[in-house]
Amino acid sequence: MRKNRLPVMASIVLAMLVSSMDTTIINTTMPVVAAELGHKELYAWTFAAYMIFSTVAAPIAGRLSDMFGRKHVFAGGIIFFMLGSLLCGFAGNMIQLVIFRAVQGLGAGVMMPFPNIIAGDLFSIEQRGKIQAFFSAMWGMSAVLAPVLGGLFVEQLSWRWIFYINAPVCILSFVLLLPYQEQYEPRRSRIDGWGAVLFSSGISLILLTTVVESYRLLYGVAGAALVFVFVRFESRHKSPMVPLELLKNPPVAWMIVNSFLACCALFGTSSYIPLFLQNEGYSITWSGIPFFGHSLGWMAVAVFAGKWVIRWGYRRLLIIGNAVLAVSGLMLALLSEGRGMVYTTLALIVQGVAFGLIVTVSIIGSQQLVHPKQKGVSTSLQMFSRNIGTAIGVTIMGTLLNRAASLYSGIQHLFLFGFLVSLLALASAFMLKGKVEEPQAVQV
């Protein structure tokens, strides 16, 4: 299997780059797109469609990979994403663009869990920390490249090329995946179609509450009702789309809770720090500089996290990671007028260290503490909980900012919220007990 590592790693990195860049590349180009296509009232839906469908698709893709193998499901995601990208490029109006962004989001959601899932199949625990650090570098690179490429395409070619460019990258990713011969033997079973429909519908309605300005309560109640029906349905299904027995595994369940709370607390920082710095007089380019510190802090600890898990166990590392996250939350809650680039960069370096530990350790734990036949869905549920937490956290922070008397008081309020929720995340880390301290002992 070692000879297959290089091409498959190249394949998943390329897929990761295009799917992550398309989360943000449209930010810099949407004013131009909306001016050309019309229906400016649908502006926000081009982002929401991608976010909702990519979030919903990830756990389903993880489960399908356990049933039918990693290679086939990942390849399907690449093709679907490429199709959605081409359709977006051909969109003739805003309604079409929103629909096609949903198709693209589905493909992205299928692809996104696979870097971690396949890395879990290919690499040992010690090596996985380094791989996670590498993936983090790729996410950081995409955050830098996306606005630059978006601007270049609009100025030199057309906004449509931000979507067309994905096609050759996806083709190369698909070709590099072909030689991959996975050793994982899937456990085939009947597809739980109704479970997938109930899950997708319920979560989509809940996520809509983070986008719409009216009928939020109605969408939230309807979504919660469908999720309740989904849970009852899955508990009786012989081959559930999302095995609820994972939640009966205390360490895995608490890691899911912790990931949700940690991301709800402060993963949305990137949405508000640039706003603060630009109000302090920094340019758009300079306002993104602190996030290099965030990436460096993340990578610095992720490289060693695999070895630390074996030496100290999950619980201790997650407690440390969440404690550091609370420190960064307190630093940001004290953000005020006049605290500029140096202070925010230091706060984000601290936050990067925190998330480097929390995310890497949780991903490793979600794979090592379950049966190999559940590794895919367990990994994707971790990512799902982070996405849901981020969406809810950003929405609450945005509400606090909009209702504040001034930008500076709004910034303080939203980061005070982040700090308080980070304390809840820290409390949840203390709930990990038992064999979680001995990762090798629980492998099956």
3-state secondary structure the chain: CHHHHHHHHHHHHHHHHHHHHHHHHHHHHHHHHHHHHCCHHHCCHHHHHHHHHHHHHHHHHHHHHHHHCHHHHHHHHHHHHHHHHHHHHHCCCHHHHHHHHHHHHHHHHHHCCHHHHHHHHHCCHHHHHHHHHHHHHHHHHHHHHHHHHHHHHHHHCCCCHHHHCHHHHHHHHHHHHCCCCCCCCCCCCCCCHHHHHHHHHHHHHHHHCCCCCCCHHHHHHHHHHHHHHHHHHHHHCCCCCCCHHHHHCHHHHHHHHHHHHHHHHHHHHHHCHHHHHHHCCCCCCHHHCHHHHHHHHHHHHHHHHHHHHHHHCHHHHHHHHHHHHHHHHHHHHCCCCCCCHHHHHHHHHHHHHHHHHHHHHHHHHHHHCCCHHHHHHHHHHHHHHHHHHHHHHHHHHHHHHHHCCCHHHHHHHHHHHHHHHHHHHHHHHCCCCHHHHCHHHHCC
Residue 437's pLDDT band, with cuts at 50, 70 and 90, is very low
What's the mean per-residue pLDDT of the chain? Answer: 79
Residue 440's pLDDT band, with cuts at 50, 70 and 90, is very low
Residue 444's pLDDT band, with cuts at 50, 70 and 90, is very low
- pLDDT (tens digit, 9 = 90+) per residue, 76-88? 889 989 999 899 8
Q: Taking 70 as the threshold, does the pLDDT of residue 49 lie above it?
A: yes
- pLDDT (tens digit, 9 = 90+) per residue, 336-376? 877 778 888 899 899 989 988 898 888 888 877 877 777 77
- pLDDT (tens digit, 9 = 90+) per residue, 384-401? 888 888 878 877 887 788
**Mean pLDDT in residue range 109-115:** 83
Q: What is the pLDDT of residue 443?
A: 38
> pTM of the predicted model, to two decimals?
0.76
Q: Taking 70 as the threshold, does the pLDDT of residue 57 lie above it?
A: yes
Q: What is the pLDDT of residue 115?
A: 79
Q: Taking 50 as the threshold, does the pLDDT of residue 92 lie above it?
A: yes
- pLDDT (tens digit, 9 = 90+) per residue, 308-335? 888 888 888 999 999 999 999 999 988 8
Structural contact between residues 275 and 394, judged by C-beta atoms closer than 8 angstroms: no
Highest mean pLDDT among 98-102, 213-217, 259-263, 271-275: 259-263
Q: Taking 50 as the threshold, does the pLDDT of residue 234 lie above it?
A: yes
Amino acid identity for residue 26 in this structure: I
